[in-house]
Each structure stands twice: as C-alpha cells, then as structure tokens.
Structure 1
Amino acid sequence: MSTLFHIKNMVCDRCKLVVKDAFEKAGAKVQSIELGEVETIDPLSPQQLQTVQQTFSEVGFELLDDKQGRIVEKIKTLLVELIHGEHPYLKSNYSDYLSEKLNRDYSGLSTLFSQHENSTIEQYIIRQKIERVKELLLYDEQSLSQIADSLQYSSVAHLSNQFKKVTGLTPSQYKVASAKDRRSLDKV
C-alpha cells in the first residue's frame, strides 16, 4: 500500500534529488517523485518519518499534513513549473490555468493562498517572473525583448518597470552589477 507525502518548498528538480535521498536515507522505497509530492511503496514507520523530518528541517523542507497547505504548495509548484519551465507560454491567464489544474474556483484559491502566504498569487507570480528574468539576463542568450515575450510581458517597458520596482535596478544595471559579483563555482 503506497503512501503519498506532500512537501513544502520543493520547487525544483534538484529538490527532487534531495527529497529522494532523505526518504532513501530513512530506509523508505520511493515509488514516484514529483515537485511537491513523494509517493513511497510502503507506509513509513514512526522512526522513518522522524528521520525524514529531521533531514528536511536541515535543508528547509517540511512535510505538509493539512489539506490547505498542500493546495497552496500545489499552486506554487504549478507556477514555478510554468514560469521556470522551458515553455512558459500560457494559452489562458494564470487564474484560469490554476483553476483548471486544481479544479477549483480561482477566488477561493486566491483567498487561501493569501491567508497562508501573507501575499497574493499575483505577487508570487511577479516574484517568480523577476527571478526568471534575472536568470535569463545572466545567461545572456536572449535580448530583453525576447525575455519579455517569453514571459508574456506586454512590453519591454512593462518588464523593465516591474523589474526595477522589485529589485531597485533596471535590467541593464542588474546585469552589470551581477557580472561583477559572480564567482566561478570552484571559487565559492
């Protein structure tokens, strides 16, 4: 009988590796792993659960046991996958996307998210998009116009204004400042 666990703050592919390692370190056999969720082949013993929770506390993850918290984490996971994925294009808007994926009314999702995160879904989307812009600026493979288009900004000016509002810098200033602060991995 498999058991499904929901995990807070598991938002990237590297996170999957850390989570899988934590479960295996506890002696659990992982059946499947997705962002925000792990399914084990057998239920965990209290000792195994304690080992997983201890490992998680060291790396900033948390097992979720409440339904509302799981929904909020699912919202975050869906948005991170969409914004940071290879094809961030939406055929609809974010509210319709989340409603469809979670089979729930967006106003209820929005209220729940705000109660749990002290932030709106829209603010979360903006923060994620700005982080993606930062990443793409550092890769230096796309123009600002291409980045704006890929993240569905209405214009480069809109992206630049939002970027400056969040970071305090224009995209160009950020790119120059970040280039100075970067170190090669072997020097970190």
Structure 2
Amino acid sequence: MSSPLANPAVTNLLFSLGAMQVAKRLPLTDEDFIVKLRIGYVSAQVLSLAIYFFIMQKIKKKNDLTTIKYVQPASPMSQEKGGLVTTTVKDYDLAETGKLMRGLFIGIAFMGFLHVYMGYTQPLFIQAIMTVKGVFESKPAMLHLFNKKAEGDLSRPFKTGGGLLESLTGNTAGGVQTDAASIKEAEKPATKKDL
C-alpha cells in the first residue's frame, strides 16, 4: 500500500492549507494588490492553457498509433452504458488532455463567480498556484513534458486517482478494466450484435 502522502488529493489538501496561511498575511484589502493578484491569476490560467496546448502538439507530433483496449465502466451519473473502448495512444492522450482543459475552464468560471459575484479575493492567490501545480502533476504532462515512462500510475488507460477518503482507506475499487478476460467478455456481445 502506498503512502497517503503520495496521493495528489492529500498533497493538494496540505498545499492548500499552507497557501491559505500565506494568503491570510497578504494585504487583501489593498486595491493595488488586488489588481496584481488578478493579473497573477489570469497569467497562471493562460500559462496553464499554453502548457496544455504544447502537450497536445507534442502528442500530435509523436503520433503514437498503438492500439489500446479497455472496458469502461458505466457512469453512475448518466444513462450511458460502459463498454469496450478501442482507441490509440494518440487519441487517448488528446482526449485526456482535453478533459483537463475543460476542467480548467470550469475552474475559471467558478473562480469568476467567487471573485466577481461573491467578492472573495483569497481564492485567487490559492487557485493561481494550485492550477499551475495541477498542470505539472497531470499524467499527460508527466508523459509528454517530463518524458516519464508509461508504466505504473502512468500506464494507459489512466486509473482515476481516488479522492482523499479512498487514499486513506485504501479502497480504490472500480474504474477501467484492462485485463484480457474483461476485454474478451466485452467483445462477445459486440460480435453477437454484429452477426
């Protein structure tokens, strides 16, 4: 069993708590400082998007057409059924990077609501740091920026890192299935329907 400190959810929580302590000491009532904080936040988001676009360009340049097969579980939040997914490394990595970019836009929208509508300024500081940290800790960044090998946690398809509770209890059940028996079982209904 790996250490809970190795889980990004735990490190993000600890990092956030530390950043909140630093943010308490910032002059968050000074208008000049708030303008600088906004510029810093927007710069962090632009930098994050630029890194994701750079990663996408590297993925396209590598053009790895190795086939990946896995069984996607049914989503508990939708009517969609899970099933066999056949894709390439290139398409998979582009899709995963796209998901991360969508998450970035959702975060920007949420931060806009918190800052503009609710008037909170402290989250600007914390999220500026956390966003860039998250980009560099992402699996596509590990593979395509830092040239780590696609093994263990970085093997495709990526295992969804459980949240804080799962990391502390060791319960990481669920997720995609990559074993040959599951893939073969998922292929059976597909071939029967085609006949």
Q: Which has the higher contact order (CA 8 A, sep 6+)?
A: 2
| Both proteins in one fold, TM over 0.5 | no
* TM-score when normalising by structure 2: 0.23
Rg (Cα) greater in structure: 2
* TM-score when normalising by structure 1: 0.23
